[in-house]
Amino acid sequence: MNQAPTSTIGFQGGARLRGQLKSAQTERPLISVILVVKNSAATLSRMIESVLGQTYAPLECIVCDGGSRDGTLELLRRHDVRIDFWCSPIDADSMTR
C-alpha cells in the first residue's frame, strides 16, 4: 500500500496498487465512477458508500483529490481497502501538507 508522497505524484492508494484489477465481463462493460474532490471530508464517505452500494457489476470507484487540507486524505486512507484507486497529487498549493 503506497501512501507516502512520491515526487510530484503525491499520495495514492487503493486496490489497483495491490494488483487487484477489475475488468469487463461478457456483455457488461466495466464502469469507472470517478469522484473529483477537494476539501470534501464532510461528504466523501457518503459519496464512496453511494458508489459502492450500486448493484451493477463490474464497477470501480476512483477518487482524485485536489490537495485537500480538511481531513479528506485521512478518509481516503481509511477507505483504502474498498476504493479501487485514489490519488492526491502534490501541487504548488499542497506542498506544505
Q: Report pLDDT digits (tens) over 7-53.
A: 567 899 999 999 999 999 989 999 999 999 999 999 999 999 999 99
Domain that holds residue 54: 10-90
Residue 50 falls inside a structural domain: yes
9-40 as b/e, with b when 16 or more CB fall inside 10 Å?
ebbbbbbbbeeeebeeeeeeeeeebebebeeb
Residue 3 counted as domain residue: no
**Predicted structure pTM score:** 0.83
95 backbone dihedrals φ, ψ, rounded to 5°: -65, -15
| Burial class of 75 by CB neighbour count within 10 A (0 to 12, 13 to 18, 19+) | buried
d(CA 31, CA 44): 20
- 19 assigned to some structural domain: yes
CB 62 within 8 A of CB 84: yes
pLDDT in tens, 14-25: 999 999 999 999
Task: Please report whether residue 62 resides in a domain.
Answer: yes
Counting the structural domains of the chain, the total is: 1
Q: Is residue 17 part of a domain?
A: yes
**Does a structural domain hold residue 51?**
yes
